[in-house]
């Protein structure tokens, strides 16, 4: 099975559409109707036989309504018509989820009509069958595909009714990956979207053609419900294994990550942002990987980024690749870059002129807009904790940021201008940058989607077939010392598997007899006990690790600060903020009952966990690394229907001490401390 076999699927579904700029400066003399124009509020304008949206409803064609002009010209014209308050609203972005059944909330009208906001983060899980059994959390209610599309359309109608009719731009975190532990504000469960391996899994395939197909499918699915921009992808490097957001990174390797982000920009956005694009906000500049002691910068104990290996420039490489590929937006890190020769070196990246203006814009020639990370004004103002919110707003805009995430008070920006703490010309500069993207995306011509068609696009069988192939190709075979894999079971010679963490029906469909040691979803004994494992030919155990026991205030995940060093399985088994499933004790018991060399472990490496000697896990007869795959995908590799092809996206250390001694900004470990190096992977 080869990924190229799916090329015809994309032709059928239109995901290989050519990226054709619709707002080029040379289009001013056009006599051909280029974009589809749609309005649900004002009648269309007919000029010289061409259709235009009457965004402000005055019956005349304003320059910003003329799609024949360049995005720059249109943006400058619109800014000249806006009040200071309207421009201030443009510089804000915050979460705006649909309510129950996909209905707009009361807050929606207030943010659009009063605050003048035109950019929002959409966090609702989009699923086939919503389950809303209690109050909605940060991610909002579960809604269907059609409800999501209808919600976007309703919001765009609301925006069309404002003074200038500026369309809304909805962004989202990643939502096309299989993740057993998604977190609001970090990523969203795939739900009705096609289910692909996590970012590290894509990297493990080492297949840029397949990653391009992923981007093209994702583009089509996001378009279908009205999502036109992404908070991502992360090109932070996985050099600090203790950082819990390793699971959102692609690799520890700057070159591989650079290749991937170039490919994703090509498939999602194109060299230029157009009406066919999903615009990307690349994060977290200049690289959030080297977190001091592995702490996350959402929290006070993780606010510093450290460079003991003097490797700051290495982390810039994927960002340079993204800029060269046409990335239109960048998101600075929360962290403080310790020990770097940058202006304003002792504050978070968004507050630093040295980072945003000097390094990003002047030295790296970035021309797009800068979108701060969420909450820097109110929750994570690292280095400027002693300043007022107004002072923080002034500081980050002065440093070069254009839109403030997690903030929704336009009046504060207005007051800063009125007090001469910011100039209106500086505000204009940001708003032009922001509007250019909305013009380039074609939203001013048609911001609506076909809600009835969306169901046929998201997660359809053809798209999922390609995603399934990617899942299989992402699986890395780490150990097979006695060559027990693949396990070939047939009607003539059936094999009995003792399973934990595996769906029984999936194992049976793969041709095995099954003794279920647990319920893979509930984690309780069902159909067997550990002693019954002795009746099996082999054991197959899926191992998941999460931080469900962490303190409640660690709202985006991760371990308690005093347990960040605990990546070895023996340590995690005893820690309060780490949870290993099945428990290490259960795994060890099964390995004793079946015998270690007949036990196969499939470990989901959300971080570069340590298979320490004391855990006994290295004695398993087969060890596979996964990065978000289905049971069916895993069983195809176990049974030999698909030969393992994945290569490790990051190295694995051989001891807990190696984790502590490694340098946060340097990939991998010294040879003496390495169990499996970057790029390792067996086959059969």
Structure tokens at 119: 């950019």
Catalytic annotation, pick one of 373, 468, 546, 636: 373
> Are the CB atoms for 289 and 337 separated by under 8 Å?
no
Beta bridge partners, 461, equal none
Catalytic, 77? Answer no
Distance CA 540, CA 429 (A): 58
C-alpha distance from residue 370 to each of 118, 330, 433 (Å): 16, 5, 9
What does the alpha-carbon distance between residue 63 and residue 51 come to, in Å, rounded to a whole number? Answer: 14
Question: In sequence order, what DSSP letters do the residues of 22-80 get, joined into one string?
Answer: SS-GGGGG--S--S----SSSPPEEETTEEE--TT-SSS--GGG-TTS-HHHHHHHHHH
- 6 DSSP assignment: G
The set of residues, in sequence order, having a beta carbon less than 8 Å from that of 47 and lying 6+ positions away, is 61
Question: What is the spatial distance between Cα 544 and Cα 143, in angstroms, rounded to a whole number?
Answer: 27
Query: Distances in Å between the alpha carbon of 560 and those of 149, 184, 189, 643?
Result: 39, 19, 24, 39
DSSP state of 272: S
Strand partners, 500: 541
Is the CB of residue 512 less than 8 Å from the CB of residue 494? yes
How many CB atoms are located within 10 Å of the residue 27 CB? 16
Question: Is the peptide bond between 322 and the residue preceding it cis, with omega within 30 degrees of 0?
Answer: no
Beta-carbon contacts of residue 448 (< 8 Å; ≥ 6 apart): 38, 40, 153, 156, 226
Contacts of 443 (CB under 8 A, 6+ apart): 167, 168, 169, 228
Q: Backbone phi, then psi, for 587, in 5-degree steps?
A: -60, -45
Contact 608, 446 (CB under 8 A): no
Local structure of 401: helix, strand or coil: coil
User: What is the per-residue DSSP string for 591-653?
Assistant: HHHH-GGGEEEEEE-SS--B--GGG-GGGSSEEEEESS--HHHHHHHHTTSS------SS-EE
Buried-state track 58-72, b at ≥16 Cβ within 10 A, e below 16: eeebbebbbbbbbbb
- Relative to beta strand 579-581, strand 538-546 is antiparallel
Which residues is 180 bridged to in the sheet?
Answer: none
Backbone torsion region of residue 503, taken as left when φ is above 0, otherwise alpha when ψ lies between -120 and 50, otherwise beta? beta
Question: Would you tell me how many other CB atoms lie within 10 Å of the CB of residue 222?
Answer: 22
Angle (CA) 281-287-293 rounded to 5° is: 135
Return the bridge partners of 52, or none.
45
CB 673 within 8 A of CB 661: yes
For residues 335 and 376, what is the distance between their CA atoms, to the nearest angstrom? Answer: 10
Are the CB atoms for 305 and 333 separated by under 8 Å?
yes
CA atoms of 149 and 514, how far apart (whole Å): 42
Instruction: Report the DSSP pairing between strands 50-52 and 45-47.
Output: antiparallel
**C-alpha Rg value of the chain to the nearest Å:** 26
Annotated catalytic residues are 373
């Amino acid at each position: 099975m080869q990924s190229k076999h799916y090329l015809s699927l994309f032709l059928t579904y239109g995901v290989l559409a050519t990226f054709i700029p619709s707002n080029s400066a040379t289009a001013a003399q056009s006599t051909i109707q280029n974009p589809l124009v749609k309005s649900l509020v004002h009648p269309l304008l007919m000029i010289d036989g061409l259709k235009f949206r009457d965004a402000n409803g005055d019956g005349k064609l304003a320059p910003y309504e003329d799609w024949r002009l360049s995005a720059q010209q249109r943006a400058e014209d619109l800014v000249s018509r806006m009040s200071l308050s309207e421009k201030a609203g443009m510089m804000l972005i915050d979460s705006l989820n649909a309510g129950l059944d996909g209905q707009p909330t009361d807050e929606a009208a207030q943010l659009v009509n009063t605050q003048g906001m035109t950019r929002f983060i959409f966090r609702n899980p989009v699923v086939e069958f919503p389950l809303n059994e209690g109050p909605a959390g940060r991610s909002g209610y579960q809604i269907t595909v059609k409800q999501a599309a209808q919600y976007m359309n309703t919001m765009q109608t609301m925006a069309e009714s404002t003074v200038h009719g500026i369309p809304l731009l909805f962004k989202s975190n990643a939502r096309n990956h299989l993740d057993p532990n998604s977190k609001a504000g970090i990523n969203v469960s795939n739900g009705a979207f096609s289910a692909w391996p996590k970012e590290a899994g894509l990297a493990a395939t080492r297949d840029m053609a397949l990653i391009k197909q992923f981007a093209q499918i994702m583009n089509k699915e996001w378009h279908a419900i009205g999502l036109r921009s992404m908070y991502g992808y992360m090109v932070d490097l996985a050099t600090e294994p203790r950082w819990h957001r390793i699971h959102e990174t692609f690799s520890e390797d700057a070159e591989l990550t650079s290749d991937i982000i170039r490919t994703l920009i090509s498939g999602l956005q194109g060299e230029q942002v157009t009406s066919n694009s999903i615009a990307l906000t690349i994060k977290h500049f200049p690289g959030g990987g080297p977190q001091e002691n592995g702490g996350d910068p959402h929290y006070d104990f993780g606010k510093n980024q450290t460079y003991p290996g003097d490797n700051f420039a290495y982390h810039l490489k994927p960002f340079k690749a993204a800029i060269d590929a046409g990335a239109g937006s960048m998101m600075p890190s929360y962290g403080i870059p310790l020990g770097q020769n940058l202006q304003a070196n002792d504050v978070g990246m968004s507050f630093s002129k040295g980072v945003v203006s000097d390094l990003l814009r002047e030295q790296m020639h970035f021309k797009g807009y800068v979108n701060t990370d969420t909450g820097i004004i109110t929750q994570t103002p690292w280095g400027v904790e002693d300043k007022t919110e107004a002072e923080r707003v002034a500081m980050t805009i002065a440093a070069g940021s254009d839109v403030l995430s997690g903030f929704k008070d336009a009046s504060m920006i207005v007051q800063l201008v009125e007090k001469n703490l910011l100039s209106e010309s500086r505000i204009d500069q940001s708003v032009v940058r922001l509007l250019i993207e909305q013009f380039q995306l074609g939203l001013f011509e048609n911001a609506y989607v076909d809600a009835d068609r969306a169901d046929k696009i998201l997660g359809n069988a053809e798209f999922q077939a390609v995603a399934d192939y990617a899942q299989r190709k992402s699986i890395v075979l780490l150990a097979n010392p006695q060559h027990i894999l693949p396990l070939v079971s047939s009607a003539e010679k059936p094999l009995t598997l003792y399973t934990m963490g595996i769906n029984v029906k999936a194992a049976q469909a793969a041709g095995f007899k099954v003794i279920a040691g647990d319920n893979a979803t509930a984690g309780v004994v069902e159909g067997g006990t550990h002693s019954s494992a002795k009746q099996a030919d082999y054991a197959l155990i899926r191992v998941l690790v999460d931080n469900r026991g962490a303190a409640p205030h660690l709202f985006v995940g991760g371990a308690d600060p005093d347990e960040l060093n605990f990546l070895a399985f023996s340590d995690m088994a005893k820690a309060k903020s780490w949870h290993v499933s099945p428990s290490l004790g259960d795994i060890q018991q099964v390995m004793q009952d079946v015998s270690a060399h007949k036990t196969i472990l499939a470990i989901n490496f959300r971080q570069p966990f340590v298979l320490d000697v004391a855990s006994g896990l290295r004695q398993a007869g087969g060890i596979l690394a996964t990065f978000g795959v289905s049971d069916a995908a895993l069983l195809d590799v176990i049974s030999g229907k698909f030969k393992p092809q994945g290569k490790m996206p990051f190295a694995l250390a051989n001891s807990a001490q190696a984790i502590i001694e490694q340098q946060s900004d340097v990939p991998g470990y010294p040879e003496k401390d390495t169990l499996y190096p970057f790029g390792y992977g067996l086959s059969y």
